[in-house]
Amino acid sequence: STTRDLFMAALGPSIFGVTLLAGIYVGLVYLGAHYAPLLQGVLPELMLPTVANYAIGNFGNVLIAVTILFSCFTTAVALNNMYARYVC
């Protein structure tokens, strides 16, 4: 059956993606809990760069910037793809 084959083909990558996202969010929660005293009085948008700078040093700021840049690019590509499919 074609529907079952399609479902099975999508199941593995979906589980892999969910696992990666769960790992990322668990890591962010851990960092927030571990560095909570350091984050007192820090603006919410500066919390991740503050933790990165403290944990890794100046390279942490560059790493966070590159990570956010790629994150924005992947979101833009996905949105562009959805819009192109809608237009077609």
Q: What is the pLDDT of residue 57?
A: 87
43 sits in the region (left: phi over 0; alpha: psi -120 to 50; else beta) called: beta
Half-sphere exposure of 74 (CA within 13 A, CB side): 6
Structure tokens at 65: 């910037």
| pLDDT per residue as tens digits for the range 22-61 | 998 999 899 889 999 999 999 998 998 889 888 888 888 8
What is the DSSP-derived secondary structure letter of residue 45? G
What's the pTM value of the predicted model, to 2 decimals?
Answer: 0.63
Q: What is the pLDDT of residue 1?
A: 67
Give Cα separations from 3 to 14, 20, 24, 75 (angstroms): 16, 26, 31, 28
| pLDDT per residue as tens digits for the range 62-88 | 888 898 899 899 989 999 999 998 998
Measured CA to CA, the distance from residue 63 to residue 35 in angstroms comes to 18
